[in-house]
Amino acid sequence: MALVFNEEQRLLKDTAKEFLAGNAPVEALRKLRDSKDETGYSKELWAQMAELGWAGIAIPEAYDGLEFGFMGLGAVIEESGHTLTASPLFATVVLGASALILGGSEEQKKTLLPAVATGELTLALALEESNHHNPTGVALRAEKSGDGYSLSGEKCFVLDGHVADKLVVAARTSGEPGNSAGITLFLVDGDASGVTRERRNMVDSRNAAVIRFDGVSVGADAVIGEVDGGWSVLEPVLDRGRICMAAEMLGGARECLDRTVQYLKERDQFGVKIGTFQALKHRAALLYTEIEMAKSVVLDALSAIDDGRPGLEQLASLAKAKLNDVYVLATNEAVQMHGGIGVTDELEIGFFLKRARVATQILGDSGYHRDRYATLCGY
Amino acid sequence: MGDLEQFRLEVREWLEANCPESQRKPITREEQVWGGKQRSFPSEDARIWFERMRDKGWTVPDWPKEYGGGGLTEAEAKVLKEEMKRMGCRTPLYDLGIWMLGPAVLEYGTEEQKREHITKIARGETRWCQGYSEPGAGSDLASLQCKAEDMGDHFLVNGTKIWTTNADKSDWIFCLVRTDPNAKKQEGISFLLIDMDDPGVTVTPIELISGDSEFCQTFFDNVKVPKGNLIGELNQGWSVAKALLKHERKLMSEIGQDTPGPSFGPVQAALEYVGKGADGKLRDAHLRDQLVQHEMNFRAIGLTHFRTFEERVNGVADTNVPLIMKYVGTEETKRKEELLLALLGTQALGWDGDGFNQDEIMTTRGWLFSKALSIAGGTSEVQLNIIAKRALGLPD
């Protein structure tokens, strides 16, 4: 158990901070938005990030990764939260690669993970089917068909879904929506016949897609993990995703605080800096305490993944619930304390406000995670 | 870490052999052993446990051995604390001297003062109370008026101190007094130790909303105090007080864990007083959500305590983070008390007599007591001011 980064991890974090500030600041997201970029992220940037090794941070050395662990990956993602950098880091490296690492066959891992580590192969997790996170609510059918399966149904809120090379699809092979048993994970080519992908323009200018599957044929070798037993892979994948998303949110919340405090020190009203006003001091100080507590939670959860500590479910829900609340608070407070300029598109705070709401919905809002945590604790 | 693990095993073995079975149960307020002339033991086991810990120096594990301490490093003291908590061992000795005065005397006191006072605190021979606040000086502590005049061979003290916890049971009081009425607020204050038996010292208890009267007002009427009782330099008492306040705030942030309360925590109280439905969830969805939020916050606070410790050990301490602990600890404890009250319903609203068991009465009293937590030792609002200034660098 470690609640501090070691020296290597700190070094990585500093490198990430410097690289992202120089190559992918919030301004870069604004450009993607304004140019209506069809990919939704810069492929050149992603190639550079992969060159730095980031695509392979959490991939085992046996599959050409760096095997640097989630503390390291979390450090990079936290920094990407400061800059709101759009990249396949989350959908491909956290969600997609984790599904392969935790559930993939030796053949799948051998052929796919090295390509993920170099940044050549991108992935997306197709899970949600409604407007609220509901991982057991999978209804998309996978029917036995010859030696393989035929997939039919619709997925939504698939991050990077419209551009990913391969999709990890949660499908129902038995049971009813709501059951965790009977879910099977399939690996499907993004451009397979019968797949229709449509990007949705989200408020945060980041990628999310609706994907229709009309009798999409896959072989038996497309199954990740066990047939009907996908949940045992899916749940830990989602928990890793929740914890890493919490790391991004921590970075975003901290950035909002830093920018706001800076503004309180610069802005004059009534002949003094507005940071002298106790009403604003208390708001800023309160936000600071919330962020520091949230930081402890995120670090503990990241280290728990690396240590293989039991009880990760609780820590993931704790981290996601906490960071949902803190990020929403941070962005609301940042807008309010910036005053009029806070509601202009020119000020970048608005990008954080928008990202916070999307990030909150990714893999479960606070209500979802508080309910899950309480259930895990037996009440 | 090998040495520390070895130490853990030794501690475990020693506690196992030396802590009487009866001293491994949650403690009630009546069972606490406080130091000083009025010291008494609720049981023979409590006396044995106290004496064994005292002889080991573990009433004050991280104080130097030559003054009766255990001479443990911070990491070792933490191991001892963890092991005691794991086995449920009671704190063998309670005293403000341990938590607050001692560390300040160790930092600012003369050799003679250390030999005189530190040793007696470690051995539970004196009980201390604190004289900071005055009726006219609360959050604005530096405006205090209680004065000590230099009479050549002694100080002559006149004035009054309020919220002097357990002053009626204490042997000594450490006070902030004004020694230079003409200096700027903070600069004319000195830190003085006063024997409560001195002629001219009187104490009146103050009854609180919780029914307790552990807070008192203490009056000084021409009290003669020897010059040797001054801690630190004349007119430099504010620095000593600030050092000591840090200890008080740390204590206040942890008090929720150490204050005697009902034998149940919020989760247990919820299961017992609200109960679960057929779906396995607490029957009241609103209370369930409040409960889980508290449990999450409580865990986050614990992790933050642990993180600040780890950062210190690893030499990467962010010295601003400890500033938040008094605020978050006391505010969360208040929320916990409100939650317990809500969970117990009318069973938490009894005052005394029939119909309410001991745990229920303690819930009621604990809730009322908790209101003082975010006031004593620097109000929450003052804490936020400090955070804004020190951690965020916001201008005055």
Q: What stretches of chain B adopt beta strand conformation (E)?
A: 128-131, 147-150, 154-162, 172-178, 189-195, 201-206, 215-226, 230-231
Q: Which residue has the higher pLDDT, A132 or B214?
A: A132
Q: How far is CA B171 from CA B34, B39, B80, B195, B373, in A?
A: 11, 11, 29, 6, 25
For B296-329, how does the pLDDT look when each residue is reduced to its tens digit (9 = 90+)? 999 999 999 999 989 988 889 898 998 899 999 9
Q: How far is CA A140 from CA A49, A96, B147, in A?
A: 34, 19, 80
Q: Does B283 touch chain A (CB under 8 A)?
A: no
A289, B387: Cβ pair inside 8 Å? yes
Nearest CA-CA distance, residue B300 and chain A, Å: 6
| Chain mean pLDDT for chain B | 93
| Chain mean pLDDT for chain A | 97
Q: Does B385 touch chain A (CB under 8 A)?
A: yes
The whole-number average pLDDT for the span B335-360 is 96
B327, A261: Cβ pair inside 8 Å? no
Q: Does B285 touch chain A (CB under 8 A)?
A: no
List, in sequence order, every residue forming a beta bridge with A139; answer none if it has no partner: none
Of B292, B328, B389, the CB nearest to A374: B292
Chain B residues with beta carbon closer than 8 angstroms to that of A291: none
For residue B257, the model assigns a pLDDT of: 52
Q: Is the pLDDT of residue B258 over 70?
A: no
For residue B27, the model assigns a pLDDT of: 83
> Residue B377 — pLDDT band, cuts 50, 70, 90?
confident
Task: Give which of A1, A4, A300 to mutate to test B binding, by max B Cβ within 10 Å.
Answer: A4
By C-alpha distance, the chain A residue nearest B311 is: A4
The whole-number average pLDDT for the span B93-98 is 92
Nearest CA-CA distance, residue A81 and chain B, Å: 20
B292, A318: Cβ pair inside 8 Å? no
DSSP string, A225-236: S-TTBTHHHHHH
A379, B282: Cβ pair inside 8 Å? yes
> Residue B245 — pLDDT band, cuts 50, 70, 90?
confident
Q: Does B303 touch chain A (CB under 8 A)?
A: yes
Task: Give which of A257, A265, A270, A293 to mutate to test B binding, by max B Cβ within 10 Å.
Answer: A293
Task: Give which of B279, B288, B304 to mutate to test A binding, by max A Cβ within 10 Å.
Answer: B304
For A225-282, how does the pLDDT look when each residue is reduced to its tens digit (9 = 90+)? 999 999 999 999 999 999 999 999 999 999 999 999 999 999 999 999 999 999 999 9
For residue B249, the model assigns a pLDDT of: 74
Q: Which residue has the tokens 């070798």?
A: A221
Range 21-40 of B in CB contact (< 8 A) with A: none
pTM comes to 0.89
Range 363-382 of B in CB contact (< 8 A) with A: 381
User: Other C-beta atoms within 10 Å of A279: how many?
Assistant: 8
Chain B residues with beta carbon closer than 8 angstroms to that of A295: 304, 307
For A160-210, how does the pLDDT look when each residue is reduced to its tens digit (9 = 90+)? 999 999 999 999 999 999 999 999 999 999 999 999 999 999 999 999 999
For B132-164, how does the pLDDT look when each residue is reduced to its tens digit (9 = 90+)? 999 999 989 999 999 999 999 999 999 999 999
For residue B30, the model assigns a pLDDT of: 82
- A237: which 2 tokens? 């994948």
Chain A residues with beta carbon closer than 8 angstroms to that of B379: none
CA angle B214, B220, B223 (to 5 degrees): 130
The whole-number average pLDDT for the span B44-48 is 95
Chain B residues with beta carbon closer than 8 angstroms to that of A297: 299-300, 303
User: How many Å apart are CA B255 and CA A348, to the nearest integer?
Assistant: 42
Q: Is the pLDDT of residue A128 over 90?
A: yes
Contact A356, A328 (CB under 8 A): yes
B321, A370: Cβ pair inside 8 Å? no
> Residue B127 — pLDDT band, cuts 50, 70, 90?
very high
Percent over 70 (pLDDT), chain B:
97
The whole-number average pLDDT for the span B47-76 is 95
The whole-number average pLDDT for the span B265-279 is 97
User: How many Å apart are CA A299 and CA A3, to the nearest integer?
Assistant: 5
For residue A308, the model assigns a pLDDT of: 96
For residue B259, the model assigns a pLDDT of: 60
Chain A residues with beta carbon closer than 8 angstroms to that of B324: 288-289, 292-293
For A267-276, how does the pLDDT look when each residue is reduced to its tens digit (9 = 90+)? 999 999 999 9
For residue A257, the model assigns a pLDDT of: 98
Q: Is the pLDDT of residue A378 over 90?
A: yes
User: How many Å apart are CA B243 and CA B245, to the nearest integer?
Assistant: 6
> Residue B39 — pLDDT band, cuts 50, 70, 90?
confident
B306, A3: Cβ pair inside 8 Å? yes
By C-alpha distance, the chain A residue nearest B394 is: A275
User: CA torsion B163→B165→B171→B177, rounded to 10°?
Assistant: -30
User: How many Å apart are CA B392 and CA B396, to the nearest integer?
Assistant: 12
The whole-number average pLDDT for the span A98-114 is 98
- A243: which 2 tokens? 């914890």
By C-alpha distance, the chain B residue nearest A258 is: B392
For residue B254, the model assigns a pLDDT of: 64
For residue B28, the model assigns a pLDDT of: 79
For residue B246, the model assigns a pLDDT of: 77
Q: Does B300 touch chain A (CB under 8 A)?
A: yes
Of A264, A288, A321, the CB nearest to B387: A288
- B377: which 2 tokens? 């030792």
